[in-house]
Amino acid sequence: MAAAKNARLPNASVPWRLWQAARGLEGSHITLPDADLRGKWIVITGGNNGIGREAALQFASWGASIVLGCRQPPPHEKHPDITVADCIAAAQAAGHESSKIEWWSCDMTDLSSVETFAKRWLSTGRTLDILANNAGIGRTPRGKLTKTKDGFEIVHQVNFLAHVYLTMNLLPSLALAEDPRIVCTTSCMQYFGTFNLSNANTTAGPSSYSHNKLYFQTWLTELQSQLSSTHTMNHVTINGIHPGFVKTGIWIPPHVAAEAKSLNPLDRLLNMLVGVFGVDPQQGSLAIVRAATAKECATTKMGGEGGGRYFNRIWPAEPMPQTTSPACRQLIWDFVDRELHLKEKGLLDVFDSECSIG
């Protein structure tokens, strides 16, 4: 994208961005009312660890059946088998003996793995009630520009593109649900992002994380708008959430933290700040849980206050201006279509074939 074209796109002032990002540090203790998820199916990516694991435990204790979408994790990470066993124990402790909890392979660095996961889901004929797009990595391995086997920058693919692909593949199953919810774990780091799609596959380091969280929040806002203009999917809700500043491995992967002597000064500082100011993963998970279950988070069609929003933990917050810009939304929509060949694969047919009612 040419710089001149970018100049016409909306942007936010630095003080406003800093203020919004600082609000992401909000650390109050949250409790949520119980929800009844008996008979509902949930797919959650990155469900074996961190806030995804805690969300899965909560969903299980409320009676949901769950598929955790996980990669075969590196040895230093918690194996999905352990989280499956813990979720089954949580379900049983709450009296939900018939819940099904499984983990299926879904490696976000490999789009064929995502597609296989989605096909496997669709072949079950199950209705999908909640999709939590949560898996993520905080940094490029070894700080160097790293491409996946699909040819995309790794943070771009894991944190954004693979979730777009998963979502678009699973939409037909979501559409069958009564009150379907898609929750995307974006981040307050979007406020440090730059909307310049020419950087999508060329940036390594922390800025790639911020750019892609901004792209994700912008894309999901457009998806909500597109869904709302269909007859068959206008009941589907999608929102983005920031879980808080949470003590998880996203900041400094556990194997790096364990060798604390090898941390560079910036990582040392980050480690200290997360330890002092961060909330625990259970608290972080409640942002996902609330967006997935609270009535007010649903689209107006479903009696809520509208989808396509951004929540700082459980509070509605103002996302970056690109999310409300038709030009930016069209740019990101078209960009991912080109990267993932969505149209060619028929994954946009529902938007093309249905008459607009909006």
Ligand X SMILES: NC(=O)c1ccc[n+]([C@@H]2O[C@H](COP(=O)([O-])OP(=O)(O)OC[C@H]3O[C@@H](n4cnc5c(N)ncnc54)[C@H](OP(=O)(O)O)[C@@H]3O)[C@@H](O)[C@H]2O)c1
- Measure the CA–CA gap between 55 and 48, rounded to whole angstroms: 10
Q: Which is closer to ligand X, CB of 127 or CB of 315?
A: 315
Q: On the CB side of 30, how many CA atoms lie within 13 Å of its CA?
A: 23
Residues 74-133 within binding reach of ligand X (CB under 6 A): 77, 106-109
> Is 168 or 241 the residue whose CB approaches ligand X more closely?
241
Minimum distance from residue 186 beta carbon to ligand X (Å): 7
Q: Is 193 in the site for ligand X (CB under 6 A)?
A: no
The smaller minimum CB distance to ligand X, of residues 50 and 180, is found at 50
Q: Indicate whether 134 belongs to the interface with ligand X (CB under 6 A).
A: yes
Q: Could you tell me the smallest distance in angstroms from the CB atom of residue 304 to ligand X?
A: 23
Within 250-279, the residues that bind ligand X by CB under 6 A are 250
Q: Which residues in 143-182 contact ligand X (CB under 6 A)?
A: 158-159
Q: Is 51 in the site for ligand X (CB under 6 A)?
A: yes
Q: Both tokens of residue 168?
A: 């678009």
Contacts of 139 (CB under 8 A, 6+ apart): 155, 205, 206, 209
CA distance 235 to 267: 43
Least CB distance to ligand X at residue 254 (A): 8
H or E element at residue 240: strand 237-242
Burial class (CB in 10 A: 0-12, 13-18, 19+), 142: exposed
Question: How many CA atoms are closer than 13 Å to the CA of 337, on its beta-carbon side?
Answer: 15
From the list 249, 304, 308, 319, which residue makes contact with ligand X (rule: CB under 6 A)? 249
Residue 185 or 218 with smaller CB distance to ligand X? 185
Number of residues engaging ligand X in binding (CB under 6 A): 30
Question: Residue holding tokens 């989808």?
Answer: 307
Instruction: Tell which one of 21, 43, 48, 192 touches ligand X (CB under 6 A).
Output: 48
All residues at 6 or more sequence positions from 245 whose CB lies less than 8 Å from its CB, including other chains: 24, 25, 27, 274, 277, 278, 279
> In Å, how far from its chain's centre is CA 199?
20
Taking CB under 6 A as the criterion, the residue among 136, 304, 307, 308 binding ligand X is: 136
Q: Which is nearer to ligand X, 136 or 304 (CB)?
A: 136
Binding site for ligand X (CB under 6 A): 45-46, 48-52, 70-71, 73, 77, 106-109, 134-137, 158-159, 185, 187, 242-243, 245-246, 248-250
